[in-house]
Amino acid sequence: MKFKYNRVLVTGGCGFIGSHYIEALLNTFTNVEVINLDLCTYAVSKKNIRLLDSLPSYELIKGSICDDSLVKKTFKNFEPDLVVNFAAESHVDNSINDPSIFLETNVLGTVNLINNIVFSDNKNLKKTIFHQISTDEVFGDTDIHSKDLFNEESPIKPSSPYSASKASADHMVKSWHRTFSLNYIITNCGNNFGPRQHFEKLIPTIILNALKQEKIPIYGNGKNIRDWIYVKDHAETLINVQNSGLMNDAFLIGVRNEQSNIKLAQYILNLIYPSKPYEELIQYVDDRLGHDFRYALDNSKLEKKLDKKLSNNFEKEIKDTISWYKNNLNWWE
């Protein structure tokens, strides 16, 4: 099977979603070369790096998307026809504690990448497609009792420094298209889960703390709702979007799998301890500042464009995720 693009520059590809994307891409297509530009920060496991190093037609360049000389050199030497930008600071709690690094990486880093496309002296580079990997959090939230869904025309109303930085980057990409004719794709996805996700995130925290029989912190009353998607389904959808030739548009990626944080924790705990009481493991903690109530995505535009139903098999996928963490407790050691 042939992929539409031959030379793919991935940024942040050693991380959770990016590593699954690269793995799926190179295990599916034989005509693709991948350069992965990644700073390899705290959220990257050395085992992720080794896993990717074993793939064909792959090279890792350690560095930041904010490093203009490195980005220029990478673009010049590799001449990518597709850039997929996963590189981002992504943990909302960290953005509340220190917003500045989120602005630097998520906004200025994105601008550095797209500048190296539109202002290049190389005519081929000017044709490069830029795929911005974004989040549903740019739309803010809806009431937990609402039936409303985000769509591509929903107002941008970010609630946290993280979501504001991602919304800013999305706006930059769209404006670079209008002003400088940048060819782009933007995909805004729901909450991802699956193997290799860093333990600071909700589902790994629930699983790992449950396995260690430690307290599981749940913000506020636990009723906040997220729209969950399996990371491998997300990676497959990204590849399908790219291979379809869609461009100069934005698409929401979600599977209508809404779960409240407390119901999700109870569901996972029941899978791990089906015959034991587990309620004492749940510990309600002070709510996060600016905590969004509910995310829910309308994916009908993308499904219509791809002529394909997006996959959702939450029961199997959460069991597979639990099994992976049981078998890989030392992944970040």
Tell me which DSSP letter residue 136 carries: G
Bridge partners of residue 226, in order along the sequence:
259
CA distance 115 to 111: 6
In the chain, the number of structural domains is: 1
Q: Say if 317 falls within a structural domain.
A: no
Q: Say if 246 falls within a structural domain.
A: yes
CA distance 229 to 16: 13
| pLDDT number for residue 13 | 98
- Could you read off the pLDDT tens digit of each residue along the chain, which spans 333 residues? 899 999 999 999 999 999 999 999 999 999 999 999 999 999 999 999 999 999 999 999 999 999 999 999 999 999 999 999 999 999 999 999 999 999 999 999 999 999 999 999 999 999 999 999 999 999 999 988 989 999 999 999 999 999 999 999 999 999 999 999 999 999 999 999 999 999 999 999 999 999 999 999 999 999 999 999 999 999 999 999 999 999 999 999 999 999 999 999 999 999 999 987 888 999 999 999 999 999 999 999 999 999 999 989 999 999 999 999 999 999 977
Q: Say if 220 falls within a structural domain.
A: no
Q: Which of 58, 162, 184, 325 is catalytic?
A: 162
Bridge partners of residue 33, in order along the sequence:
7
**Which residue do the tokens 């990204």 mark?**
238
Q: Which of 137, 227, 258, 292 is catalytic?
A: 137
Q: Where are the alpha helices (DSSP H) in the chain?
A: 16-28, 46-53, 68-78, 92-97, 100-102, 110-118, 161-180, 202-211, 231-244, 261-272, 300-306, 314-327
User: Is 5 one of the catalytic residues?
Assistant: no
Q: Say if 321 falls within a structural domain.
A: no
Q: Say if 326 falls within a structural domain.
A: no
Q: Say if 160 falls within a structural domain.
A: yes
Q: Which of 136, 233, 258, 317 is catalytic?
A: 136
User: Is 162 one of the catalytic residues?
Assistant: yes
**Contact (Cβ atoms closer than 8 angstroms) between residue 114 and residue 176:** yes
* Domain of residue 183, CATH code: 3.40.50.720
User: Is 136 one of the catalytic residues?
Assistant: yes
CA distance 186 to 173: 8
Q: Say if 215 falls within a structural domain.
A: no
| pLDDT number for residue 1 | 80
| pLDDT number for residue 116 | 98
Q: Say if 288 falls within a structural domain.
A: no
DSSP string, 93-131: HHHHH--HHHIIIIIIIHHHHHHHHHT-S-TTGGG-EEE
Q: Residue 166: which domain range?
A: 7-196+228-257+294-312
From the list 239, 219, 192, 193, the residue with the least C-alpha distance to 293 is 219
From the list 241, 248, 211, the residue with the least C-alpha distance to 310 is 241
